Amino acid sequence: MMGRFGTLVLFAAMLGLMAPVHAATTKKLEQPNGKKVALKSGGSTKAQSKPKLAAKSKTKSAVAPGNSSKLAAQARKPVRHVAMNDVDPGRLAIQSASALVIDQSTGQALVEKQPDSVLPIASITKLMTAMVVLDARLDLQEVIAISDEDVDWLKGSRSRLPVGTTMTRETAMLLALMSSENRAANALGRHYPGGLSAFVQAMNRKAAALGMYSSRFEEPTGLSSNNVSTAHDLARMVAAAARYPEIRSYSTTAEARVEIKGRVRDFGNTNALVRSDNWEIGISKTGYISEAGRCLVMQANVAGKPVVIVLLDSNGKMTRVGDANRIKRWMESAVGTSGRRSA
């Protein structure tokens, strides 16, 4: 009897009886509309808020005369709903060294690959940087400046923000999250009350408060390989970052035009998936340094489920994107109606 009851519960969940939970969570997700955001550095112009992406409605096609009997026959055919645990996630062939997919509505881990390995996280760090700035309730319209202290003397990475550039704190946060501008991120930390050392202490206090016990932050950009975490810890961080409207908006902005020293420059998102109509992304951040490989974290709505995806230490420029797309296809096939096992 208990076996039959368990089966009925599983089928009920797959048939959408838990949809209100998913829907309530999904409402929090915001999507970019693909439009550019125009900002002036040093000015008080706010980043344009992007409207929420309306859910795509599925309009039924009119049934042509004579086809109703055929459709009725198809409707009578038995349909098997494939549960997530019916499909082996090992067949996904995830290329990232560490990976984790969490169903936020249940807390269940759908995919795990070395999720507790402590690894450098590169610019994924900037999500923590943004949270600490917002927690301090600093004036986002205050003008801050890029100085020599913000230049990357560690890795020698390039920046499109020359020393002397001024911009609002809001613009600096947008460029740090969207385009992963290291000088903007460092300037955010340097202009924190108490300076950079106080900012780093606040980052580690925030990590501890979130239960990120295997994580350590040394600076606000991610250029240091001593900024480390695990996939499990980062899933907690991404879920926390999703509660900040500014981070949702800025991290998923596709493009922005920013006036820098009288010249307008175009900046793009480092995650190409935010421009894809096939993805509904609420939070996005990429990262790369040689020690960390290519990393990607997202909160997204996939196959009707709000999920957090963490991919660390991917080899190859497109591997992390390929892993994300494989996970998406697997989830969509698992909750679809099919008579075959697929992954």
Per-residue pLDDT band at 71 (split at 50, 70, 90): very low
Per-residue model confidence as pLDDT tens digits over 7-28:
433 344 443 433 333 333 333 3
Dihedrals phi, psi of 102, to nearest 5 degrees: -115, 130
For the segment 157-166, the average pLDDT, to the nearest whole number, is 95
pLDDT given for residue 19 in this prediction: 38
pLDDT given for residue 198 in this prediction: 98
Distance (Å, whole) CA 238 – CA 234: 6
Distance (Å, whole) CA 181 – CA 270: 10
Which amino acid is present at 59?
T
pLDDT at 197 over 70: yes
pLDDT given for residue 173 in this prediction: 98
Mean residue pLDDT across the chain: 80
pLDDT given for residue 179 in this prediction: 97
SS3 of the chain: the string is: CHHHHHHHHHHHHHHHHCHHHHHHHHCCCCCCCCCEEEEECCCCCCCCCCCCCCCCCCCCCCCCCCCHHHHHHHHCCCCCECCHHHCCHHHHCCCCCEEEEEECCCCEEEEEECCCCCEECHHHHHHHHHHHHHHCCCCCCCEEECCHHHCCCCCCCCCCCCCCCEEEHHHHHHHHHHCCCHHHHHHHHHCCCCHHHHHHHHHHHHHHHCCCCCCECCCCCCCCCCCEECHHHHHHHHHHHCCCHHHHHHHCCCEEEEEECCEEEEEECCCHHHHCCCCCEEEEEEEEECCCEEEEEEEEEECCEEEEEEEEEECCCCHHHHHHHHHHHHHHHHHCECCCCCC
Catalytic residues: 123, 126, 180
**Ordered domains of the chain (ranges, CATH):** 36-42+96-335 (3.40.710.10)
Which position has the higher pLDDT, 5 or 235? 235
Per-residue pLDDT band at 80 (split at 50, 70, 90): very low
Angle among Cα 311, 313, 314 to the nearest 5 degrees reads 80
